Amino acid sequence: MTAPHCPAEGLLRAIVFKTFGVADVLRKALLPLVAKIRIVFVHGSVAREEDTARSDIDVIIVGSISLMEAAKPLARAEVPLERRIRRGAQAGSATRVKQGGHNVPRVDVLRRFGRGWRNFQTVYQPLADAWVGYDNSGGIPRLLERGP
């Protein structure tokens, strides 16, 4: 809710938003689904503190929750935040196995891995204080690289 008659409304809202952030609003909205959620990430311009009044809030939810299950609670969270929430979900590996796997063709897996590894090396690795890379394709994870 905005107060057009209040000249400091934008500044006050920014202070409150930065002080309390989106975490409390998201936590409250997703609390009824907590048994299905392993972790929630906020990423993008809000996480980088580069957002503007028009920026949406990018959220990734990891767990056994579907995007459909999260849609209504997150839509309710958009109201007090006065921002659109863009959501993504990643099912846990145990959930995928129970559902019969994901049936992605090997050629796609290899292509995605190569692209993902290049993105890690060029985009994310320079931002990390420390990182470790493992090959978990066998029975026991094998250390590939660590840094810096």
Full DSSP string of 11-32 = HHHHHHHHHHTTHHHHHHHHGG
Which contacts of 32-37 are long-range, i.e. CB under 8 A and separated by 24 or more positions? 32/73, 33/65, 33/69, 33/70, 33/73, 36/63, 36/64, 36/65, 36/69, 37/61, 37/62, 37/63, 37/65
> pTM for this structure?
0.51
Please say if the pLDDT value at position 61 is more than 60.
Answer: yes
Greater pLDDT, 118 or 7: 118
Q: Please report, rounded to a whole number, the percentage of residues in the chain having pLDDT higher than 90.
A: 2
For the chain, the domains span 1-102, 104-148
98-112 pLDDT, tens digit per residue, is 555 566 777 877 887
Please say if the pLDDT value at position 87 is more than 50.
Answer: yes
pLDDT category of residue 50 using cuts at 50, 70 and 90: confident
Q: What is the mean pLDDT of the chain?
A: 76
Query: What's the pLDDT at 99?
Result: 58
Q: Which CATH class is domain 1-102?
A: alpha beta
Please say if the pLDDT value at position 64 is more than 50.
Answer: yes
Query: What's the pLDDT at 1?
Result: 47
Say how far apart CA 23 and CA 1 lie, in whole Å: 19
